Every structure is written in structure tokens, then in C-alpha cells.
Amino acid sequence: MWKPNLTFLPEYSDTIDRLIEKKELLDASRPLPTSALIRIKEALSIEWTYNSNAIEGNTLSLQETHVILNDGMTIGGKSMREHFEAHNHDKAIKYVSELVERGSAFSSIAILDIHELVLSNIEDHYAGRIRNGGVRINGANFTPPNALKVPELLDELIDYILHNPDHLDIMSLAAVFHHRFVWIHPFFDGNGRTARLSMNLLLMKSGFPPAIILKNDRKKYYAALNKANKGDYSKIALMMYQAVERSLNIYLDILPHDEDSDYQPISTIVSEPDVPYGQEYISLLARQGKIDAHKEGRNWVTTRKAVRDYMVSKETTTV
């Protein structure tokens, strides 16, 4: 019986607690303003489609993805496959949202349906079908299991997720699922997109917004998965927490708040006279998940409150 290595959890206990508190604040603030909620959901869906496809090599820009999905236009110089990938992923997001709204169980059938949507009109003979042959992954430090073992391994993973024998918080559970699913590699193609859609089905069923792995973090993302292949889940878990925090922050930003809770570039924060840390140190804290921060494009943003809270925690631990 497979069991994940959970030694990473103590390292991120404060981060997990912070995210759970943000989720509770978001829940307590519902219902959120309808117009703002619609805008956020639409923007996140476009971002999710763009980033997930770009990680797999799709060359459409964020703006081009928006034009294809919202305006129904085609982009000159881009392949039909890339257009189908945008439309398919958007349909898959809508399907995931429907499953959440219906309260449907997390299941292998749902995952197969998601995969069928991802590969529709691209590789219809593989869409929604478990692979029946071997595969190799360029740049990975492992060989996926024999095809004959895939159905049993997938059932074992889903059983672990449904019963959660280690009593993991949903974010850690989603990180574990994501890695194990990619390791099983149940399909000939479309595994990454299906993994990210399915992990978000888990998160969204628990009331979290979708976690978006950014295209700019592609190298770090693959390195984190390779570490997990060796039993070290710390990096893929951290990427999950950071992606969740970014989405939570986007939602919470529509709530009333003071200026000290505005997210700003770290370079702006360190220019404040009462901040004793340099930009490199605060950037390190952000990358390690030790302060409330998230990425916008390639840059980290945080708040004055987050830095002050960290300063207070350091003073408390040295007393």
C-alpha cells in the first residue's frame, strides 16, 4: 500500500494555518459582491487556461487566450491544436465548476471526463482512456509504471484521497494527489493539464479558489515534481500553498481593508523607514512561504502588515 512521505508538514505549519485563516475570513465575508465575483472568476479562468497550457508548450499569450475564448476569434500564426487546447481547457474548467456545484464525488470517472475534454478534437482516440502502453517523459528522473498497473494505482490514489488516512489539510492533500497522479501518468498525453484540473476539483469542492501554477515558474515546478519523485514533497507542497495564497489574496482584495494590507512590490515595502530588512531577505521569506506574499508575473508582492507580523514573530521567539 502506497503512503506519501509527509515529513514536509511541520516546516509549513504556520503557512497552512495562515491560509486556513484566510479561507475562513473569505467564508465569513460571503456573499461577496456579485459583479466583482464574476470578474474574478472570469479572470482566473483565463489565467488558469493560459498558464496550464503554456506549461505544456502552448505558445498563445494571455491576451491571445482571452481573445480566443471571449471574442471567438482565431489568432494568425497559431496552430489549430493550440486553439483547441484553449477551448478544451475552458470547457474542462466549466465542467469542474459544474461538478463542484452539483456536489459530485471525486472519482476516476470525473478524472476520465476531464481528460476527455482536454484532448477533444486533438487526440480523440486517447481522450478519456487510460494508456495501454509504456511512456517516457523527457527531463523527468523516473519512468512511469507499467500500463497494466495503472488502473490499480489510480484506484489506490483516489481511495487515499477520499479517505485521507493521514488527516491532511486539503491543500497538502491536493499537492500529494498532484504529484502521485503525474507519477502514475495514467494517459499517453494530457496528464499535466488533467492533474492540475483534478487537484483544483479537490480544492474547489472544499470551498477554496483554484490554485494556478504560473508558466513563469515552469522550471521550478518540474524541479519540484522531480524532488517529489525522490520522496521529498516539500517543494511541490510549497508551490501549492503559494498558488492557493495568490488566489485567496485576489478574492480577499475586494473586501474593505486598510492601506497596510495592500499588496505592493517588495522594493516598495523595503523603502519604508521602519522596515529593517533588505529586498533580498524579504524576497527569500516570500519564496519560502514564511510571510504573506504571492507572485504577480515574475515579481513577488507582499504587504506592510505581513512584514510587521514577521518582525513581531521574530521578537517573540527571541524573548
Residue where a domain stops, chosen among 226, 252, 278: 252
The reported pLDDT for the residue numbered 316 is 64
Domain total for the chain? 2
The reported pLDDT for the residue numbered 161 is 98
Same domain, 248 and 271: no
Half-sphere exposure of 219 (CA within 13 A, CB side): 2
Burial class (CB in 10 A: 0-12, 13-18, 19+), 295: middle
The reported pLDDT for the residue numbered 272 is 85
| Domain that residue 22 falls in | 9-252
3 within some domain: no
Instruction: List the catalytic residues.
Output: 185
The reported pLDDT for the residue numbered 138 is 78
| pTM metric for this prediction | 0.94
Note the helical H segments in 56-207. 62-71, 80-102, 108-119, 150-163, 170-184, 191-205
Q: What is the pLDDT of residues 95-135, one digit of tens each?
A: 999 999 999 999 999 999 999 999 999 999 999 999 999 99
The reported pLDDT for the residue numbered 259 is 86
Same domain, 84 and 184: yes
Same domain, 22 and 46: yes
Q: Report DSSP letters for 143-155, one per residue.
A: -PPPGGGHHHHHH
Q: Which parts of the chain have pLDDT scores under 70?
A: 316-319
120 within some domain: yes
Q: What is the pLDDT of residues 198-224, one digit of tens each?
A: 999 999 999 999 999 999 999 999 999
Same domain, 293 and 174: no
CATH of the domain at 236: 1.10.3290.10
